[in-house]
Amino acid sequence: MAGVSVRNVVKRYGSVQVIHGVDVEIADGEFVILVGPSGCGKSTLLRMIAGLEAISDGEIAIGGKVVNDVAPKDRDIAMVFQNYALYPHKNVADNMGFSLKIKGRPRAEIDAKVRKAAEILDLTKLLDRFPRQLSGGQRQRVAMGRAIVRDPQVFLFDEPLSNLDAKLRVAMRVEIKELHQRLGTTIVYVTHDQIEAMTMADKIVVMRDGHVEQVGAPLDLYDNPGNVFVAGFIGSPAMNFIKGRIDARDGGQIFVSDAGAVLPVSGVNAESGRPVVYGIRPEHIDLDGDGLPATVSVLEPTGSETQIFARIGEDPIDAVVKARLKVRPGEEIRLRIDPSRVHIFDRQSSARL
């Protein structure tokens, strides 16, 4: 096992720079998830760690050893690809044992390791099958089994669950997390799905346009997002953002939206009149008879909770409440915003204040 250090790494394709000096420290045994929208450079970064892409500048070290010029096969890593990349002409056992066979290990050792990995992943009955005879979830497990057999220093996962249906994805999330707890191997995992990031990671690296926006534990990012992008990306449903400014009233501070709605704040580190973005998560808004009047646009009941799309004055707002509502679109409800959960961001820099 080993940690991974990414130091000031840059990637250029010709004159186009796609990764701009990224620094990430991954501790030994840590489960780190690189997350961000499509094209943010997360997969490129992972492929650079794997050695499948050259590093234009900076350095990457695995287990303290700089690997910039080390071939993928000598980095002691295992990778799981989005479309699994199984060898179509080899059966499950041969797929899993290929790396050991290449290394010239004895047949008995290969069989033992493959069998052990197959037991962990419940693949024992499938060892003779070919990839084309397997379902998506089974292929996914074979790809993971192939990685386990290697017993590498670092596991790299490139959006491994993206091709699975929603239910299977949840099941595999649990399986991967259990696997990590069991093996304790360092994992670097790429996804665009923030729920995967929140539920599995020890540490999340949020990326955008080739920059790291914020690094932190999942709940830390949720509670203290560094800027509007991270606040909007982490958490589902996404945080409400309302543009406006801070104002003084009755000896305290309030927020006045550009459309004129007045919303509560507390302990804001910003002077009156400053243009800001007001952020509040849907789950931090509740129904309250004494709250702010809001007009319902759409209701989405899911059984356990109800998502309300409403308007406070002109400003759209999204709330999630535990109650089941008997209101119709166009009717008025009253919402209470917990001022202690409000995030205020600078409108210019979009940084949190």
Partner 1 sequence: MRSNRVGWLLLAPTILILAVFGIVPFLYVLYVAFHQWNPFGANPNMIYNGADNFRRLVFDAEFLTSVWFTLKFAFFAVASEVALGYLLAQLFMKDSPGKGFFRTIHTLPLIVAPIVVGSVWRLMTTPSIGIIPYLLNDWFGYDLNIGRDATSAFVITVIMDIWHWTPLVTLTLLAALVSLPKEPFEQAQIDGANRWQIFWHVTLPMIRPAILATVFIRLMDALRTVDEVWMLTGGGPGAATRYVGLHIWKLVFPKTDYGYGSAISVIVLYLTLVMCWLLYVGLVARRDRKRPS
Residues that bind partner 1 in the complex, under the rule CB under 8 A:
50-52, 71-75, 77-79, 81, 83-91, 93, 98-99, 102-103, 127-128, 146, 150
* CB nearer partner 1, residue 115 or residue 274: 115
Angle formed by the axes of helices 136-150 and 92-102, to 10°? 20
* CB nearer partner 1, residue 188 or residue 268: 188
Minimal distance in Å, beta carbon 175 to partner 1?
Answer: 20
Cα distance between residue 159 and residue 42, in whole Å: 10
Minimal distance in Å, beta carbon 190 to partner 1?
Answer: 14
- Angstrom distances, CA of residue 54 to CA of 51, 118, 210: 7, 33, 16
* CB nearer partner 1, residue 128 or residue 331: 128
Identify the CA nearest to 332 among candidates 301, 302, 287.
287
Minimal distance in Å, beta carbon 292 to partner 1?
Answer: 52
Minimal distance in Å, beta carbon 266 to partner 1?
Answer: 51
Minimal distance in Å, beta carbon 293 to partner 1?
Answer: 55
Bond prior to 237 in cis (omega within 30° of 0): yes
Q: For residue 335, how far is the Cα from the chain centroid? A: 30
* CB nearer partner 1, residue 98 or residue 233: 98
* CB nearer partner 1, residue 83 or residue 199: 83
Signed CA dihedral, 214, 220, 225, 229: sign only: positive
Cα distance between residue 103 and residue 229, in whole Å: 46
Cα distance between residue 300 and residue 302, in whole Å: 6
Minimal distance in Å, beta carbon 128 to partner 1?
Answer: 5
Cα distance between residue 8 and residue 141, in whole Å: 34
* CB nearer partner 1, residue 88 or residue 251: 88
The SS3 call for residue 126 is helix
